[in-house]
Amino acid sequence: MKQLLYSKRLAPYLFILPFLVTLAVFWIVPLGRSFVMSTQEVLYGQATFIGLDNYERLWRDRIFWQALYNSLRYTVLTLVLLIPIPLVLAALINSNIGSTRIKTFFKASMFVPALTSVVVAGIVFRLIFAESDVAIMNQVADFLGFGPVRWLRGDATGLVALLAIALWRWTGVNTMYFLAGMQAIPTEYYEAASIDGASKVRQFIHITIPNIRPTIVYVVTISVYGGLSMFLESFMLYAGNNSPNNQGLTVVGYLYRKGIEENDLGFASAVGVVLLAVIMAINISYLVASGTFKKEAA
């Protein structure tokens, strides 16, 4: 036993074993099962092999493409909002503008939404964006001189509501990531730059951004994944998976509708496999383009 534990050859494998087991049980096996199920018609206690029929149906399915379009649109817009805004906020917090106490309070309060449940937040946002003219957003619209708006009935206005949830929820988290990255930058760089007469904006562009690039790459990668796999926000906002004209339907929402609500698990597996392929394609090409896989230059 002692020999086994102290063996230099075996020890590393032993240490990574827990990870490998979890990965296999909760990831590889289900993934493999999904591939198999995506070629089957699954009913209670019977599964029939039907080849690529599910994929063929998926290819011709207008609703699937709509769901994919919705997910991609949401992902792109969350990236547009959730990278620059937190970046600027983090820079402000990291700068010597304003009192530390206020900034600490701000930091903490920005993070709170990430700790709340999406279920609760979704319900609250549904009420905020309700059709009634006494709902908060319609009061705001009225104050600004338009409205009442039927927020969750229109495609664009519904998207505004979804983005509002994303912004409210993730701004604080992304700000924290960027802040952590910024605090790791040695202050000498900034001192040298200011001696050379570089303005704050130029320092931000030429020192801060290049130095936190790994953080930005990481945040973009998880945001792409998070955006494409978004489901719960839409599910809660529309009080279920059925939004008018499927305007809030995402790929995962469609997977859930097909697999769970309509008991077509084979087809739903095909949706899942395609989603995995799309996410991997986007993220891997992004990681390659951003040079993450390159060996550190000596």
Partner 1 sequence: MTRLRTRVSTVVAALAVTALTACGGSQQEAPAKNADGSTTLDMWTFADVHATYYEEMAERWNEANPDNEIKLEVTVYPYDDMHNKLQLAVNSGEGLPDVVDIEVNKFANFVKGENPPLVDLTEAAAPYQDDVVQARLDLYSKDGKVYGFPTHVGAFTTFYNTEALEGAGIDYTTIKTWDDFKEAGVRYNEETGKAFGVASTSVMFLEPLITAQLGGKFFDADGNVQVNSPEVVETLALMKDMQDAGAISTIPGGSPDSEEAYGAINDGDYAAIVYPAWYTSRFVDYMPDLAGKVAIAPAPVTDDAVVQTIGGGGTGASVPAVSPNKDLAAEWLAFAKLSPEANVAVWQVLGFDPVNMAVWEDEDVTKDPENKFNEYFQTNLFDVLGEVKDGIGHFESFSDPNWPTVDDTFRTVTLNEIYENGTSAQDALDQTQADLQNQLGQ
**By CB under 8 A, is residue 244 in contact with partner 1?**
yes
User: What x/- string results for residues 176 through 205 when contact with partner 1 is judged by CB under 8 A?
Assistant: ------------------------------
Cβ nearer to partner 1, comparing 24 with 280: 24
Among 84, 263, 280, 288, binds partner 1 (CB under 8 A): 263
**By CB under 8 A, is residue 261 in contact with partner 1?**
yes
Q: Which residues make Cβ contacts (< 8 Å) with residue 182, sequence separation at least 6?
A: 90, 91, 94, 208, 211, 212
Among 8, 9, 62, 295, binds partner 1 (CB under 8 A): 62
3-class SS shares of the chain: helix, strand, coil, % to 5? 75, 5, 25
Only segment of 1-9, 84-92, 97-105, 194-202 that touches partner 1 (CB under 8 A) = 1-9
**By CB under 8 A, is residue 7 in contact with partner 1?**
no
Q: How far apart are CA 91 and CA 179, in angstroms?
A: 7
Q: Do residues 80 and 72 touch, judged by C-beta distance below 8 A?
A: no
Cβ nearer to partner 1, comparing 242 with 290: 242
**By CB under 8 A, is residue 33 in contact with partner 1?**
no
Cβ nearer to partner 1, comparing 131 with 191: 131
Cβ nearer to partner 1, comparing 74 with 238: 238
**By CB under 8 A, is residue 57 in contact with partner 1?**
yes
Only segment of 104-112, 215-223, 235-243, 275-283 that touches partner 1 (CB under 8 A) = 235-243
CA 129 and chain centroid, separation: 22
Q: Of 86-105, which residues contact partner 1 (CB under 8 A)?
A: none
Q: How far apart are CA 4 and CA 128, in angstroms?
A: 62
Going by C-alpha positions, the residue among 37, 27, 70 that lies closest to residue 259 is 37
**By CB under 8 A, is residue 116 in contact with partner 1?**
no
Residue 26 sits at φ, ψ, to 5 deg, of -100, -5
Type and span of the H or E element at 47: strand 46-49
**By CB under 8 A, is residue 130 in contact with partner 1?**
yes
First vs last C-alpha separation in the chain: 42
Tokens representing residue 224 in the block:
């792409």
**By CB under 8 A, is residue 45 in contact with partner 1?**
yes
Q: How far apart are CA 220 and CA 218, in angstroms?
A: 6
Tokens representing residue 217 in the block:
């790459």
> Which residues of this chain interact with partner 1, rule CB under 8 A?
1, 3-4, 43-46, 53, 57, 60-63, 130-132, 153, 240-246, 249, 256-257, 260-263, 265
